[in-house]
């Protein structure tokens, strides 16, 4: 691990005239922190496994960036997946992937830390390591290679990336990053541990860290797991997630980096709560973000004012799984709007649950920016919603739509899933009925039907949920359901816009969501086929994945991971992880 920064800027600058959106490779944005590499003991490259356009809108990265750079013995710099044009130029000119703050190669850092938000970003992780000149397989890395760690929601099933990641951080990363810094600092001061010894030292001394190389898996003849076992007696049998106990006392960045160019969200982000009181059977977010915790209104108001001073953003977004479940939502909205209305700062509520709490806010909601109100009924019938624990009544949904139109919204966004357990044709038809009726309510307030954007996604079984044992519809069945719904929805073409997720992409998501470490070989083969940026429609190529499937062993069957219904007695790949809530069928 080197201690001297080696800037690549003289080699990078001439390339910027040849790429789209060159500002994403510049660095130096407002509120960026740049430290001297020689003045700190531990250097961390925070890597987001997607492009700058996506990653700079992710609040968790800003939190870790601030915590690390506030530590006197550490620094954090950012790196993102480059766009294809920049990737090609980097490879052509033999320039390694770099950080934005000092344009230092990733292989010059002590830690390369990935944020894993989506299973279809796994190929981006391998591509970034390849561009950085870091061996993809952890077993092939030398003592002078950075420690590769990962966190985020996807690490609650870490096994598909077990061959590539040295250590997974399970749970709230801000609870463990300082412990990791202090441990690395101490080890570097003595310089007595090899890479393998360092991994073991961290895994046994710091809670919530999982080092897959220190655990063995045995398999049954049918391909299921017989046992997950630590290879040393001083390692935990289960990895318990890290949890921030008090959100008011937790670190919160009041000087977030302001991007030069366009990103998905340029706004003041206020995380008002973590967790969800409803725990729908399909939702992993409510489980991994448990227990339910809130920030106080006074703290949130203070944070909003401080961030506004440092950014000048004209929008405040309330971050949570369900904003209407925040107990003081009306007081918070009133206080924020009274403070920021004169500054012409709007307020957005990206996530609202359809229940009585939503109807308590008609006057308050008048102050909210009317970009679009988002609600997620998930299923078309009350019967199926009851099964998935999404207990929303149709009449409540229509009242919510009516309240939205009445208070000035011209667009309502609805989210549904198809392929849920016990789903019937009547459940699918009910989705179209709800969308048409919701659009028709607009005639009560406008001269035409109300605008509805409906997103329909295939159900993907997720670890640590009550549906983790369920099967998934195959690709052909999902296509048929999409065609059936598409015909039903086209009757309101002018006011209704429907978006369907690609069944092939959801299929892959299911493969990796419930996969084990044998999928490491599949990821390597997909990487060799050129798979990357698979979450982007223009780059996703399922034929490359089909080629990778064929190159696997003869007995490999992706349906074994994606479609198969699990037995309740089966040992699951993620059973090594304690998510915090018991999961019983």
Q: Tens of pLDDT along 543-578?
A: 999 999 999 988 899 999 999 999 999 999 999 999
Q: Is CATH 3.40.50.720 the classification given to domain 9-240? A: no
127 phi and psi angles, rounded to 5 deg: -65, -40
Is pLDDT of 509 > 90? Answer: yes
Domain boundaries in the chain?
Answer: 9-240
Residue 404 confidence (pLDDT): 81
3-class SS of residue 470: coil
pLDDT tens track for 439-475: 999 999 988 899 999 999 999 999 999 999 999 999 9
Q: Percentage of the chain surpassing pLDDT 70?
A: 94
Burial of 402: CB neighbours in 10 Å, binned 0-12, 13-18, 19+:
middle
Is pLDDT of 361 > 70? Answer: no
Question: Residue for token digits 């790196």?
Answer: 79
Greater confidence (232 vs 363) lies with 232
pLDDT tens track for 252-271: 999 999 998 888 888 999 99
Mention every residue, 6+ apart, whose C-beta is less than 8 A from residue 462: 282, 283, 284, 468, 513, 514
Confidence of residue 1 (pLDDT cuts 50, 70, 90): very low
CA distance 348 to 267: 10
CB 66 within 8 A of CB 173: no
Average pLDDT along the chain:
92
3-class SS of residue 315: strand
pLDDT tens track for 390-443: 988 999 899 888 888 887 778 889 999 999 999 999 999 999 999 999 999 999
Phi-psi region of 440 (alpha: psi -120 to 50; beta: other; left: phi over 0): alpha
What is the average pLDDT across 130-143?
Answer: 97
Confidence of residue 533 (pLDDT cuts 50, 70, 90): very high
CB 150 within 8 A of CB 118: no
| Order of strands, sheet of 315-319, starting from the edge strand that comes earlier in the sequence | 268-271, 315-319, 346-348
CA distance 390 to 279: 9
CA proximity to 377, closest of 456, 317, 315, 311? 456
CA distance 485 to 499: 11
Burial of 76: CB neighbours in 10 Å, binned 0-12, 13-18, 19+:
buried
């Amino acid at each position: 691990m080197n201690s001297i920064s080696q800037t690549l800027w003289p080699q990078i600058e001439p390339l910027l005239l040849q790429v789209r959106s060159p500002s994403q490779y510049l660095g130096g944005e407002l509120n960026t922190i740049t430290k001297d590499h020689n003045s700190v003991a531990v250097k961390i490259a925070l890597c987001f496994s997607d492009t700058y356009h996506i990653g700079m809108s992710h609040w968790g990265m800003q939190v870790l960036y601030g915590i690390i750079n506030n530590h006197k013995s550490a620094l954090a710099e950012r790196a993102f997946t480059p766009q294809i044009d920049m990737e090609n130029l980097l490879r052509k000119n033999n320039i390694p992937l770099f950080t934005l703050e000092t344009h230092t190669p990733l292989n010059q850092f002590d830690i390369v830390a990935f944020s894993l938000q989506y299973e279809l970003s796994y190929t981006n992780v391998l591509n970034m390591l390849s561009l950085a000149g870091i061996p993809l397989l952890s077993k092939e890395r030398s003592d002078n290679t950075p420690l590769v760690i990962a966190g985020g929601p996807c690490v609650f099933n870490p096994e598909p990336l077990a061959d590539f990641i040295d250590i997974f951080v399970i749970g709230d990363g801000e609870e463990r990053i300082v412990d990791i810094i202090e441990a690395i600092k101490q080890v570097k001061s003595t310089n007595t541990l090899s890479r393998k010894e360092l991994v073991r030292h961290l895994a046994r001394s710091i809670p919530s860290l999982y080092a897959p190389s220190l655990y063995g898996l045995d398999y049954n003849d049918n391909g299921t797991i017989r046992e997950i076992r630590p290879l040393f007696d001083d390692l935990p049998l289960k990895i318990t997630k890290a949890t921030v106990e008090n959100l008011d006392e937790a670190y919160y960045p009041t000087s977030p980096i302001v991007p030069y160019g366009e990103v998905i969200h340029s706004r003041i982000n206020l995380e008002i709560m973590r967790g969800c009181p409803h725990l729908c059977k399909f939702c992993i977010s409510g489980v991994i973000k448990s227990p339910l915790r809130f920030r106080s209104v006074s703290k949130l108001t203070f944070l909003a004012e401080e961030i506004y001073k440092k950014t000048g953003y004209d929008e405040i977004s309330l971050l949570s799984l369900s904003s209407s479940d925040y107990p003081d939502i009306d007081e918070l909205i009133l206080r924020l709007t009274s403070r920021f209305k004169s500054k012409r700062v709007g307020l957005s509520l990206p996530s609202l649950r359809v229940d009585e709490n939503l109807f308590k806010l008609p006057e308050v909601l008048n102050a909210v920016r009317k970009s679009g109100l988002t609600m997620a009924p998930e299923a078309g019938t009350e019967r199926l919603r009851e099964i998935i624990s999404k207990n929303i009544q149709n009449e409540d949904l229509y009242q919510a739509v009516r309240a939205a139109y009445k208070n000035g919204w011209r667009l309502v966004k609805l989210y549904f899933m198809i392929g849920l357990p016990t789903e019937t044709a009547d459940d699918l038809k009910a989705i179209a009925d709800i969308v048409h009726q919701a659009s028709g309510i607009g005639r009560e307030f406008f001269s035409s039907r109300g605008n509805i954007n409906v997103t329909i996604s295939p159900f993907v079984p997720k670890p640590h949920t009550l549906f983790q044992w369920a099967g998934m519809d195959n690709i052909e069945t999902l296509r048929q359901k999409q065609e059936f719904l598409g015909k039903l929805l086209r009757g309101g073409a002018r006011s209704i816009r429907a978006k369907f997720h690609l069944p092939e992409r959801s299929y892959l998501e299911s493969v990796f969501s419930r996969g084990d470490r044998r999928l490491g070989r599949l990821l390597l083969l997909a990487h060799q086929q050129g798979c990357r940026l698979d979450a982007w429609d223009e780059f996703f190529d399922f034929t490359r994945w089909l080629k990778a499937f064929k190159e696997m062993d003869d007995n490999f069957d992706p349906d074994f991971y994606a479609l198969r219904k699990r037995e309740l007695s089966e040992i699951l790949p993620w059973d090594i992880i304690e998510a915090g809530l018991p999961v019983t069928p």
